[in-house]
Amino acid sequence: MKLVEYDISNPYTATVVKSERITPPDTDEVRHIVIGVPDATFSPIEGQSIGVLVPGPHEFGNEHHMRLYSIASSRSGENKNLAEVSLCVRRCFYIDEVSGEKYPGVASNFLCDRKPGDTITITGPYGRQFLPPRDNTCNLLMIGIGTGIAPFRAFMKHIYEERGEWKGKVRLFYGARTGMDLLYHNDLNNDLGLYYDQETFKAFEALSPRPHFDEPAQIGDQLQANAEEVWELIQDPKTHIYVSGLSSLEQTLDEILASLAGSEHAWRDMKQDLVAHHRWSTLFYD
């Protein structure tokens, strides 16, 4: 990641208010972390991310290790407290190709290890291209895997709690490895369950039998199984499409949508058109 792309000249000191694990112990650790930022100039909206600056020393003499995290709360703050925002963080590890050793990801482990009362340095908020539509008759088609659910939690809070009376269709296609990995919709945390009764909302959950967390293959099956509705929605000029999570999802999605469009070429043209009309927004990371 090129840090020069992000302005880090105006950092904020945030205090961890709460950190709770929202996946069971025998699976990947994902935490819902609430931080307090008591500064009125920090006012993020749905779909934005913050930068977390991990104090050094770091490898290669780097002054900062900065990583981005999507904000999981809406513009009125976590639990309507403007001074608090929430994040959904997966504790990452990677295997060194040469030594075969397992190393912890720096920022995600730093964040997941922080306890209530600890302070962290954050920057941002960043990004204004992944925003819910203003018109409440618009449809939302949200497709995500793993922690890619974070901005969608923010969207749902905004459209159903802050806006109210959402008239357009809201569809969530969400992939996870097991039922307990369905973030914000499992026994440990059921924040999204609040919206399942909304008349306009429908969720399609895809569980993967494969061992890798965030495996996108099954979400493809769910999209295929609901191809008619998905395709109808995509063609409707009132539909805004949002895709969030691991970048491997992009290829899966392109393949499915190309088959629905009739050819790769047809889908490429259509996607270009959707982007041009601000109806196709993505938030990908590795």
Ligand X SMILES: Cc1cc2nc3c(=O)[nH]c(=O)nc-3n(C[C@H](O)[C@H](O)[C@H](O)COP(=O)(O)OP(=O)(O)OC[C@H]3O[C@@H](n4cnc5c(N)ncnc54)[C@H](O)[C@@H]3O)c2cc1C
- Binding stretches for ligand X (CB under 6 A): 49, 67-70, 88-90, 92, 94, 96, 105-109, 147, 150, 283, 285
Q: At its nearest, how many Å lie between ligand X and the CB of residue 94?
A: 3
Q: At its nearest, how many Å lie between ligand X and the CB of residue 77?
A: 17
Q: At its nearest, how many Å lie between ligand X and the CB of residue 71?
A: 8
Burial class from Cβ neighbours inside 10 Å (0-12, 13-18, 19+) for residue 259 reads: middle
CA dist 120 → 37, 42, 70, 114, 201 (Å): 10, 15, 16, 8, 36
Q: At its nearest, how many Å lie between ligand X and the CB of residue 234?
A: 23
Q: At its nearest, how many Å lie between ligand X and the CB of residue 99?
A: 9
Task: Indicate the residue among 71 and 207 with the shorter CB distance to ligand X.
Answer: 71
Task: Indicate the residue among 67 and 157 with the shorter CB distance to ligand X.
Answer: 67
Distance CA 226, CA 255 (A): 15
Cis peptide before 125 (omega within 30 of 0): yes
**Which amino acid type is present at position 176?**
A
* Minimal CB distance residue for ligand X: 105
Q: Which residues of 6-17 are buried (b: 16+ CB within 10 A; e: fewer)?
A: beeeeebebbbb
Task: Indicate the residue among 93 and 235 with the shorter CB distance to ligand X.
Answer: 93
The closest of 188, 192, 276, 285 to 237, measured between CA atoms, is 276
Task: Indicate the residue among 7 and 273 with the shorter CB distance to ligand X.
Answer: 7
Task: Indicate the residue among 138 and 183 with the shorter CB distance to ligand X.
Answer: 183
